[in-house]
Amino acid sequence: MVSNLQNVLSVAAKGMKKSAIRELLKLTKDPEIISFAGGLPAPETFPIEELVEITNEVLREDGGKALQYGSTEGDDKLRELIAELYKNMGFDISIENVMITTASQQGLDLLAKIFINRGDKVLVGLPSYLGGLQAFKAYGAELVGIEFDESGMRSDDLEAKLAELKIADDLPKFIYIIPDFQNPAGITMPEKRRKEIIEIARKYDVLIIEDSPYKEIRFEGEHQESLYALEGKGQVINFGTFSKIFVPGFRIGWIIAYPEIIDKFVKAKQATDLCTSPFVQKIAAKYMEKGYFETNLKKTIQLYKEKKDIMMRAFAKYMPEGVTWTKPEGGLFLFITLPDYMDSEILFQKAIKKKVAFVVGHAFYCNGKGRNTMRINFSYVPKDLSEIGVKRLAEVIKSEMR
């Protein structure tokens, strides 16, 4: 070991911090704790029997290629199937627009590697996905927060921030948006707002990053067109993943963009991991080919709707006056706002003692605000424990209210 590790660390490494969520989750390992904290899919949605069948088929029929290195772009059959899936959602794309990643988190890291120099501005929502914030800050980005309302990122605040940055000759590298069932807020951006943001991005010539890991998990409300499909001229880069709609353990994600942009991602990925596992890609492709994907996704959507409804009823029953929460139309999360004087980090320590857990909201704010908020996951906890957990949480909140 060198005498002073700090002397040899890179600037990026010195600035890296552990995930606040991951650190807090260490406190939830007690099996008696009802945890609304992790962004975990329900294990009962995992198609284990189908995967046993398909895994054997892949090994028997294509084992030599499945266990070999693969192309950086990804398995051609899987890319074709994903392209077809998105064509049905209004995307004008082909296989050349799709690259497979080792989950969408790798895509965010590659995005930062490709576009961000130290000191560059990046616009993010208040609140926004912690994994994205971490990826961008690791490469030295200065995050500029855009306020939210009931429709998600506010277009008026976005334009005001962009106007200020243009005057300072410091326009951001991109705008990072999670338009569908946003993590952590659970809000879905309506089409009108999406079009407003697209027009603003065109006006200031700024890329839009559309992170959409939950779009397929809609259980009520009206379908909203993707930013990528609405924009249609290559100014949007779309990120997707199987982690929430298939199985997270496969670590399969993808990037959809114009070929010129995909080429940059391919070069960056080659220096990272050469390729995403060909074995799991071939399993995923066969899973889709057999029609299992659509069938299981319908079951997942129905289960999550039931879990969400149970939680909404429990919130209405137990939460004290002065506490509000979002009402998601899909996805895995909702967001609680407490009275201004309350601090969810203090509540978290008390909640753990009451055997219930959540994620503190300020972890999702790049400006340190949101201390009176918390994120709740409704997909993971068994249905019979959800109301018990909400009741415990409500009791903790009541005990701290003035």
Per-domain boundaries in the chain: 5-47+294-400, 69-292
Q: Which fold has domain 69-292?
A: Aspartate Aminotransferase; domain 2 (3.40.640)
Predicted local confidence at residue 3, as pLDDT: 77
> Which contiguous run of DSSP H or E holds residue 166?
helix 155-167
Q: Would you place residue 136 in the very low, low, confident or very high pLDDT band (cuts 50, 70, 90)?
A: very high
pTM of the model: 0.95
Burial string for 322-355 (b: 16+ CB within 10 Å, else e) reads ebebbebbbbbbbbbbbeeebebeebbeebbebb
Task: Establish whether domains 5-47+294-400 and 69-292 are of one fold.
Answer: no
Structure tokens at 27: 């406190």
Mean pLDDT in residue range 108-122: 98
The alpha-carbon radius of gyration of the chain (Å, integer) is: 21
The pLDDT tens digits of the residues spanning 186-244 come to 999 999 999 999 999 999 999 999 999 999 999 999 999 999 999 999 999 999 999 99
- The SS3 assignment for 18 reads coil
Instruction: Find, among 16, 252, 238, the residue nearest to 111 by Cα.
Output: 238
CATH architecture, domain defined by 5-47+294-400 = Alpha-Beta Complex (3.90)
373-377 sheet: strands from edge to edge: 324-325, 333-337, 373-377, 359-360
Asked if residue 189 lies in contact with residue 177, where contact means CB atoms within 8 angstroms, the answer is yes
Distance CA(12)–CA(277), nearest Å, equals 27
Q: Would you place residue 9 in the very low, low, confident or very high pLDDT band (cuts 50, 70, 90)?
A: confident
